[in-house]
Amino acid sequence: MAILSPSILAADAMNLQRDLTQTAQNGAKWLHIDIMDGHFVPNLSFGYSTVKGIRGFSDLVLDVHLMIDRPIRYVEEFCKAGSDILTIHVEADTAENTKKALEMIRAMGVKPGIVVKPKTPAEAVAPYLSMVDLVLVMTVEPGFGGQKFMADMMPKVKKLRQMIDEVNPQCYLEVDGGVDLETGVICKENGANVLVAGSAFYKAADKPAFVRQIEA
Ligand code: DX5
Ligand code: ZN
């Protein structure tokens, strides 16, 4: 059993409301929103107002992925905008600020999460594991949708599954990048229980079937 978190980076930017309504109608419960600053990653995407706008009309669980430098500067605003889960990158600031930012998110009543880029080892998550509700493993270099799934991230997913089971068994383990029905199976076999899918979901001809199969 897993949860699908469709990434709206792959939705139609001119028809977000239509696509989000359909996303919920197709059976998805979560929504993944990528926030990029053009610095931590070489791309720009959405800001507070998009999260706030989506919150205003959608009951989906808003899973907000911050790909920004020193996220401590922005976490309060993204919590206020209506995030349900707010994830920050382990590489984006000092350990002290990362801990402070996770505490700030928790204090705002939002679930904190920590993300690792492909070159960052599982062990980098250890200092934060008891503080978070979600660990996100990038299975592509963050910044762009539509990239190829990195199967060599699976030992890291497996290792994090063990660490989570030992330290914080309620914590979600999410994967993001290049996930489709085929690669999703590999992620689940290695212990992931939340699967982000952008291109594969929004291009799927039969979306209700996609949700059912990937969540099975
Ligand atoms: C990449 C983003 C992903 C992206 C995934 O930086 O974090 O969430 O939208 O897109 P696909 O599923 O197309 O690889
Ligand atoms: Zn993402």
Q: Is the CB of residue 198 below 6 angstroms from any atom belonging to ligand 1?
A: yes
List the residue whose alpha carbon is closest to atom 7 of ligand 1. Answer: 142
List the residue whose alpha carbon is closest to atom 10 of ligand 1. Answer: 145
Structural fold of domain 3-215 = TIM Barrel (3.20.20)
Q: What is the pTM of this model?
A: 0.98
Q: pLDDT band for 94, please (50, 70, 90 cuts).
A: very high
Task: Show which residues are catalytic.
Answer: 34, 176
Q: Is the CB of residue 4 below 6 angstroms from any atom belonging to ligand 1?
A: no
SS (H, E, C) 201-212: HHHCCCHHHHHH
pLDDT tens-place string over residues 11-27:
999 999 999 999 999 99
Counting ligands in written order, which one lies closest to the CA of residue 183?
1
How many angstroms separate the CA atoms of 57 and 43, rounded? 27
Q: Could you write out the DSSP letters of every residue in 105-164? A: HHHTT-EEEEEE-TTS-GGGGGGGGGG-SEEEEESS-TT-SSPPP-GGGHHHHHHHHHHH
Counting ligands in written order, which one lies closest to the CA of residue 43?
1
pLDDT tens-place string over residues 37-81:
999 999 999 999 999 999 999 999 999 999 999 999 999 999 999
Residue ranges of the domains in the chain?
A: 3-215
